[in-house]
């Protein structure tokens, strides 16, 4: 029964927050007092331990992702659903890596929120179509390319994604700058990038979120 499922909704848009809370209550869910900022959301999560938390990404004081991180540090068993306007692959990848139970866009009908809640309760992941579209079109192809890189090359590319120079990488890994440059040349070749000096930095910048998740 829905009344056995307690839900916290956190969003800094008052009308959306109120509307979603009212919809959930009409469906019989046990809805806690809503939170209009991340700090309040975290406080309620720790104190009330809701079954599910529906969180916006951008909120004052703490983002939705920061709320998830800090609640997990407190051994929270709450299931998290991200409700956002973000369609960028960096945000989608971060949500995936954090193990959220759902990722929904704010322009979805309420029926999708209900479907997501039920899916989360069944232990399954549920997302707006844009999630799969972005993952399949933009994230998965790059992950496939990375499979061709050796462990050393993956280390180099992670450090490049952290804006490390060849000299800094050589110092960190105790190898010569020449060796770093050789790795960079091999990476460019394996990824079939243009041979000019800007191709790898541009590719890393475009896919930074993927590399930092490795």
DSSP state of 152: H
Tokens of 113: 């929120």
CATH number at residue 116: 3.40.50.2300
What is residue 90's predicted lDDT score, i.e. its pLDDT? 79
Q: Are residues 122 and 182 in the same domain?
A: no
Question: Which of these three, 99, 128, 157, is where a domain ends?
Answer: 128
Residue 61 confidence class, pLDDT cut points 50, 70, 90: very high
Identify the weakest region by mean pLDDT among 116-120, 121-125, 200-204, 207-211. Answer: 207-211
Which residues pair with residue 60 across a beta bridge? none
Task: Indicate whether 98 belongs to any domain.
Answer: yes
Average pLDDT over every residue of 65-85: 90
CA 90 to CA 68: how far, in whole Å?
Answer: 17
> Taking 80 as the threshold, does the pLDDT of residue 143 lie above it?
no
Identify the weakest region by mean pLDDT among 89-93, 102-106, 128-132, 138-142. Answer: 138-142
What is residue 211's predicted lDDT score, i.e. its pLDDT? 63
The answer to whether the CB of 21 falls within 8 A of the CB of 31 is yes
Task: Indicate whether 106 belongs to any domain.
Answer: yes
**Starting from the edge strand earliest in sequence, which strands make up the sheet with 30-31, in order?**
30-31, 6-10, 52-55, 79-84, 102-105, 126-127
CA 195 to CA 142: how far, in whole Å?
Answer: 18
Average pLDDT over every residue of 137-163: 82
Q: Are residues 102 and 161 in the same domain?
A: no
The answer to whether the CB of 171 falls within 8 A of the CB of 201 is no
Average pLDDT over every residue of 134-147: 76
Number of structural domains in the chain:
2
The answer to whether the CB of 93 falls within 8 A of the CB of 209 is yes
Q: Supply the range of the domain harboring residue 32.
A: 2-128
Coil, strand or helix: which one is 137? helix
The region, left, alpha or beta by phi > 0 then psi within -120 to 50, assigned to residue 174 is left
pTM of the full structure: 0.73
> Taking 90 as the threshold, does the pLDDT of residue 8 lie above it?
yes
What is residue 10's predicted lDDT score, i.e. its pLDDT? 94
CATH number at residue 206: 1.10.10.10
How many other CB atoms are there within 10 angstroms of residue 46's CB atom? Answer: 14
Task: Indicate whether 138 belongs to any domain.
Answer: no
Provide the percentage of residues in the chain whose pLDDT is more than 90: 44
Residue 87 is inside which H or E element, if any?
Answer: none
DSSP state of 189: H
Average pLDDT over every residue of 106-132: 89
């Amino acid at each position: 029964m829905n009344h056995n499922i307690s839900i916290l909704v956190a969003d800094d848009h008052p009308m959306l927050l109120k509307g979603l809370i009212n919809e959930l209550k009409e469906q019989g869910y046990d809805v806690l007092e809503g939170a209009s900022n991340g700090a309040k959301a975290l406080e309620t999560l720790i104190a009330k331990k809701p079954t599910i938390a529906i969180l916006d990404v951008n909120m004052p004081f703490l983002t939705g992702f920061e709320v998830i991180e800090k609640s997990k540090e407190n051994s929270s068993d709450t299931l998290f659903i991200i409700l956002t306007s973000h369609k960028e692959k960096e945000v989608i990848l971060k949500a995936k890596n954090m193990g959220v139970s759902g990722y929904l866009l704010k322009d979805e009908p309420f029926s999708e929120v209900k479907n997501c809640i039920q899916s989360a309760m069944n232990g399954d992941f549920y997302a707006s179509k844009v999630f799969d579209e972005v993952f399949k079109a933009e994230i998965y192809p790059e992950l496939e390319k990375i499979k061709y890189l050796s462990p050393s090359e993956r280390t180099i590319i992670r450090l490049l994604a952290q804006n490390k120079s060849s000299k800094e990488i050589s110092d960190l890994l105790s190898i010569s700058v020449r060796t770093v440059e050789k790795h960079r040349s091999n990476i460019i070749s394996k990824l079939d990038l243009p041979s000019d000096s800007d191709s790898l930095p541009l590719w890393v910048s475009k896919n930074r979120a993927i590399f930092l998740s490795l």
